[in-house]
A and B are shown apart, each in its own frame.
Chain A
Amino acid sequence: MMIYLYDGSFEGLLTAIYEAYYLKDSPEKMIAETDFVPNLLDITVTIETNTEKADKVYNSIREKISPRSLRNVYYAFLSEDPEVGSYIYRYLRLGWKMGKRIDEYLLEERVLAVHQLCQKVNKERHRMLGLVRFQQLQGDYYYATIDPDHNILALIAPHFQSRMGDQSWMIRDEKRDIAAVCFKGQWVIREIARGFIPRFDGEESQYQHLWREYFSSISIEERFNPSLQKKNMPKRYWKNLVEK
């Protein structure tokens, strides 16, 4: 089987898709180098990321298919599913044939695969808008850690930028060692060293305490329903929650 290996970045994947159109042997799969397990039968081509080529593909998706389709592809990519490169490749090939109506083919496997990943990512994005917990640091900074299944940091940062515009904050993705940092209304994504230890403000523990108090007294004892609670707020998110 012919497999293209890309460097794991979105640009890398788009470059690989570009090459697939111009190189002679078109691949069956596209896999990020780090996810690839070598196999005797596979023939691999390692694709060098090229911003220019990636841009061409990016613009072509938006213009020849649709902005919505571009969004779907990007969201699906952030799922970090090991198969996502191949799914996107197949989806886009169909997209360039069908044009903007591709997203109406809801029963087509190639469309469904991307839509399902996109939905998963979007669901976690929305969930995380509520589950981020800021802690006040010395010097009036706010700091939060998250540990999401998908790489949604860049999708939630704009929400907090417009909401907490007057506040300096950092949301740190512990799984991926990156952080969104917002200062004076502007945000960027930075890599962050593992050893970083925040220092909390004196008032912080008092408000955490109040929140925990509120959390326990707002529950109606006669309706105790932990399974419903876990369904809505899966346990894997609890370790970053003040109240749990």
Chain B
Amino acid sequence: MELQEKLKILSDSAKYDVSCSSSGSNRKNVKGGIGNAAYSGICHSWSDDGRCISLLKILYSNECVYDCVYCVNRVTNDVPRASFTPREVAELTINFYRRNYIEGLFLSSAIVKNPDHTMEGLTEVVRILREEHRFNGYIHLKGIPGADAALITKAGHYVDRMSVNIELPSNEGLKLLAPQKKKENILRPMGQINRQILQSREERKRFKGANTFVPAGQSTQLMVGATKDHDYKILKLTEGLYNSYQLKRVYYSAYVPVLQHPNLPKLINPPTVREHRLYQADWLLRFYGFEAGELLDEENPNFDNHFDPKTDWALRNINLFPIEINKAEYEMLLRIPGIGIRSAQRIITARRMAPVTYDGLKKIGVVMKRAQHFMTCQGKYYGEVGMRVGLIKQFLLPKETKPKTPSWQDRQLSFFTDMAPYRQEAINSIITGEL
């Protein structure tokens, strides 16, 4: 099979993996070698769906022996199959890298024969890249659940980031949709990688030349909308992963309805609004000092479509506001809707020199539309509608959603409600009579 055909099949199958980050590693170039890693990460392009392309994201093979119901590559699905050889992947990576198309490689794979066999193949690719091509660009490798610990260890010394995808956020989901995967098989490698990362960090403190192990940390991915797990459950799981596995990132992927199956929900479009809310909440956990239990609870287990999680939290805790910009601690500034990390830091810096004025806040980059309701500036309250939750909600509601009844696209898609499956184009064609 032609390389081009393989690339087409195996990048097409890899696109549902959302992670494309190339940050967190500062691997240096070596003499006679090629490439280095930029700590901040660099995006090289943006595809037609608006997502960043930083790494060459491909599967090593899509010839899978598993039969996970949600997955395009499951063994019973009739799709074109292909496998790269390790050298093909290495060549392609180097040639793309030299042209500055990419920051490095993201290599995943379907389960070929068995987990060990697959992990061996992946490890061979990264070995060729690092040892033969002396490639020092970024490599993100999948850890294959169920693969031997020694294989994971070997691969971990070559790569910058490793990830094991959880995909289904609950045991029931796994049983229903991925009967061959076991929770233990997923968590075991995650625990192992975490222990070895910590161990290698300790070693490198003492011996500068000690081997690195997954220096950019590990990440995982949770699928949103393929099972009936609500946001609270997903966020609690996320919190647990950050706290007990020290994950660098948890990614969420809105389930794209590629297949039909009685165990799968009938969605028309991927639930991207829900995915977006989870990312916002994820940021609140990692950088804003929030806990999952503050944002959602059992009675209120899903995020609001119209308000971001922080605004939603502030509206439910209106008694804590307004907060005085010139006096509040950094942690409290961060809790004001419309103030992000950068503007909170700027406020702290600027007010050491002179009191921050209302106009000053705009210059700093605070989103006044949201922030005005929750703060005072030099003792004065600037909110246009007063401290009344109902009116603030009215004020903040996006204009275009007010008159229109919420379309199926804006709605939080839940597992049981079958929503009227009208696509906008379908409606248009009804109007124009083109059916």
Contact = CB atoms under 8 A, between A and B. Distances in A.
B101 A218 contact: no
Chain A binding surface SS class: helix
Contacts of A232: 43, 46, 50, 52
Contact of B256 (A106, A131, A220): A220
Interface in B352-369: 352-354, 356-357, 360, 363-364
B100 A144 contact: yes
Interface residues of A, number: 52
A107 B34 contact: no
Given A131-B44, A133-B100, A107 B360 contact: yes
Contact of A107 (B3, B11, B47, B357): B357
Given A105-B353, A210-B92, A218-B15, A134 B98 contact: yes
A132 B48 contact: no
Contacts, number: 155
A166 B36 CA distance: 12
B29 interface: yes
A130 B44 contact: yes
A162 B50 contact: no
A225 B33 CA distance: 38
Nearest to A103: B349
A218 B353 CA distance: 49
A104 B45 contact: no
B57 A218 contact: yes
A162 B34 CA distance: 9
Contacts of A209: 4
A214 interface: yes
A186 B364 CA distance: 40
B49 A225 contact: yes
B354 A223 contact: no
B53 A220 contact: no
A192 interface: no
Contacts of A112: 363
A39 B43 CA distance: 46
B15 A107 contact: no
Contacts of A210: 3-4, 7, 92, 96
Give chain B's interface residue range (CB within 8 Å of chain A).
35 or more
B50 A226 contact: yes
A135 interface: yes
A218 B48 CA distance: 9
For A101, A136, A213, A219, which residue has the most chain B Cβ atoms within 10 angstroms?
A219
B45 A241 contact: yes
Given A211-B101, A217-B15, A233 B46 contact: yes
B29 to A, nearest CB: 6
A206 B78 CA distance: 30
Given A133-B101, A166-B34, A222-B270, A214 B95 contact: no
A107 B356 contact: yes
A128 to B, nearest CB: 10
B92 to A, nearest CB: 7
B256 to A, nearest CB: 5
A129 interface: yes
A51 B375 CA distance: 52
B356 A223 contact: no
B346 interface: yes
Nearest to B258: A222
Interface string A200-244: 000000010111011111111111111111011100000001110
Contacts of A134: 98-100
Nearest to A130: B44
A126 interface: yes
B35 interface: yes
B99 A167 contact: no
Given A132-B100, A223-B272, A166 B95 contact: no
Interface of A: 101, 104-107, 112, 126, 129-136, 142, 144, 159-160, 162-167, 207, 209-211, 213-229, 231-233, 241-243
Given A163-B29, A222-B256, 13 more contacts: A105-B354, A107-B364, A112-B363, A129-B42, A166-B33, A207-B99, A209-B4, A210-B7, A217-B7, A218-B15, A223-B256, A225-B50, A229-B50
